């Protein structure tokens, strides 16, 4: 069982916006801004999409945005495109001995 | 542009030791701005952080694997390595090496990953 909780799947139609949630505790998401999000296409390595809750690395589309409220972080993808279909993982620093925890992943299907 | 490449056996026998190396190219492993980490992904499941190493050699590990894991760094070869002892079928996974951005604690550059299968 992952330390961070994500819904297993989400879907949306091209052009729509979707939000993927990631729930933790006050020891991780709620206590620190070290939340990052990764996109993973089948058979590929994860790609950093968001760091520090809401910052995008250079080259990542501004259709991707991140936020946090309490113990829950969210990734929003606007203007859905077919290429956005992938698995998305959240991760956070944690003050527990684990140091870093991943969510279980959310599979995004673009209908 | 910095790249990471995992290498090592794709098949390991149960109870033996899994050993992988990550070669860093296009940049120095001795940068003070980054950790270097290993993450794994069992087939069809999510990501699990294994551990990190700093260029100085300091390490920290996932407690669930700590008793079996050693991560080391060789700055002269621009490489870092993973050793996982007493493997079982549960250790079958794709193993990724990645650069861990110290300032923001995010894995910003990843290797392609290598599948390691533990056979009985």
* Other C-beta atoms lying within 10 Å of the C-beta of residue B27: 15
A105 to B46: CB separation less than 8 angstroms, yes or no: yes
Instruction: List, for chain B, all residue ranges whose pLDDT scores fall below the cut of 50.
Output: none
Q: How far apart are CA A82 and CA A85, in angstroms?
A: 6
Q: How far apart are CA B84 and CA B71, in angstroms?
A: 9
> Could you read off the pLDDT of A23-35 as tens digits, one per residue?
999 999 999 999 9
pLDDT value for A99 = 84
A45 to B60: CB separation less than 8 angstroms, yes or no: no
Give chain B's length. Answer: 120
B104 to A101: CB separation less than 8 angstroms, yes or no: no
- Smallest Cα distance from A13 to chain B, Å: 25
> Could you read off the pLDDT of B27-45 as tens digits, one per residue?
999 999 999 999 999 999 9
For chain A, 111 residues long, give each residue's pLDDT as a single digit of tens: 568 999 999 999 999 999 999 999 999 999 999 999 999 999 999 999 999 999 999 999 999 999 999 999 999 999 999 999 999 999 999 998 778 889 999 999 999
pLDDT value for A98 = 73
Q: How far apart are CA A53 and CA A95, in angstroms?
A: 17
pLDDT value for A96 = 84
Q: Which of A28, A32, A48, A96 to mutate to test the interface with B (most CBs of B within 10 A)?
A: A48
């Amino acid at each position: 069982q992952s330390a961070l909780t994500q819904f297993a799947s989400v879907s949306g139609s091209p052009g729509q916006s979707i939000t993927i949630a990631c729930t933790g505790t006050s020891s991780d998401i709620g206590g620190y801004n070290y939340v990052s999000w990764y996109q993973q296409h089948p058979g590929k390595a994860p790609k950093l999409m968001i760091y520090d809750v809401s910052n995008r690395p250079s080259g990542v589309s501004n259709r991707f945005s991140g936020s946090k409220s309490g113990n829950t972080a969210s990734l929003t993808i606007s203007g859905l495109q077919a290429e956005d279909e992938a698995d998305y993982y959240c991760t956070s620093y944690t003050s527990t001995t684990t140091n870093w925890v991943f969510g279980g992943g959310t599979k995004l299907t673009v209908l | 542009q910095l790249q990471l490449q995992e290498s090592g056996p794709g098949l390991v026998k149960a109870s033996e030791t899994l050993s992988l190396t990550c070669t860093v190219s296009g940049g120095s492993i001795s940068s003070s701005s980054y950790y270097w980490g290993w993450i794994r992904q069992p087939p069809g499941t999510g990501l699990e952080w294994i551990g990190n190493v700093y260029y100085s050699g300091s390490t920290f590990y996932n407690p669930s694997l700590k008793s079996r894991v050693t991560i080391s760094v060789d700055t002269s070869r621009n490489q870092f390595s993973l050793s996982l002892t007493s493997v079982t079928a549960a250790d079958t996974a794709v193993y990724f090496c990645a650069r861990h951005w110290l300032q923001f604690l995010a894995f910003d550059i990843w290797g392609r990953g290598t599948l390691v299968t533990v056979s009985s």
